[in-house]
Amino acid sequence: MPTLDFWFEFASTYSYPAAMRIGALAQHAGVSVRWRPFLLGPIFKGQGWDNSPFNLYPAKGRYMWRDLARICGVLGLPFVQPAQFPQNAVLAARVALVGLAHGWGEDFCRAIYAAEFGSGRNIGEPAAVAEILAKLGQDADAVMAEAQSDAVKTRLRTQTEEAVTLGIFGAPSFVTADGELFWGNDRLEAAMAWAKR
């Protein structure tokens, strides 16, 4: 079965519709998707940015929120612009790594995105992450302890370094088995088609 790596960041707005769409698209295309959380912060720092470009460049930011609202409207996805942006996504990304190793990671990722951009909640708060874990039937305390272990911290750091090596500079990004990079929710269909070639 063809494969596609889905690189995402919980602070990334356009990763929300991509995360909500990719499962059904992959099933229809017969493509196996690997979910790869990473951190944009270190990558943005390398570009000289200490904040989201959507905050640094206000015209671009205003446009992005409007564009995202339109996209969610077309897809029938709930959308609430969070008061806090960008959010601290480190804990959620570490928990996602734990979950993806245990079979409940994709549900967790979708639940995080739904809370953040579908309900406007701050998923940077540990209580919000814990609540989502509990709803998924997980032992929140145990999972969050594992997520904060050195092993998982290192894995997230290594994964972020791998993203840089692949040429990734934003999220969501999609990388095919032959190394072809696609950037943006609007490139998901093209990435899926490339994976199937």
* Contacting a copy of itself within 8-47 (CB under 8 A): 47
Q: Does 177 bind a copy of itself (CB under 8 A)?
A: no
Output phi, psi for 149, to 5 deg: -75, 160
Least distance between a copy of itself and beta carbon 72 (Å): 13
Instruction: Count the residues of the shown chain that bind a copy of itself, applying the rule CB under 8 A.
Output: 21
- Tell me: does residue 170 bind a copy of itself (CB under 8 A): yes
CB 186, min distance to a copy of itself, A: 5
Contact range with a copy of itself by CB under 8 A, out of 7-15, 128-136, 145-153, 182-190: 182-190
**Nearest in space to 114 (alpha carbons), one of 7, 10, 5:** 10
Is 96 or 195 the residue whose CB approaches a copy of itself more closely?
A: 195
- Phi/psi for 7 (5° steps) reads -95, 125
Exactly one of 55, 57, 135, 154 binds a copy of itself (CB under 8 A); that residue is 57
Give Cβ neighbours of residue 32 (< 8 Å, ≥ 6 apart). Answer: 1, 2, 3, 4, 26
Q: Which of 129, 136, 97, 126 is nearest to 115 (CA)?
A: 129
Which x/- pattern, by CB under 8 A, does the window 105-144 give for a copy of itself? ----------------------------------------
Whole-angstrom distance between the N-terminal and C-terminal Cα of the chain? 11
**Cα–Cα dist 57/68, whole Å:** 16
Which runs of E-coded beta strand occur in the chain?
A: 3-8, 32-37, 173-176, 181-183
181 binding a copy of itself? (CB under 8 A) = yes
Rule CB under 8 A: which residues touch a copy of itself? 47, 57, 59-60, 62-63, 66-67, 70, 74, 167-170, 181-184, 186-187, 190
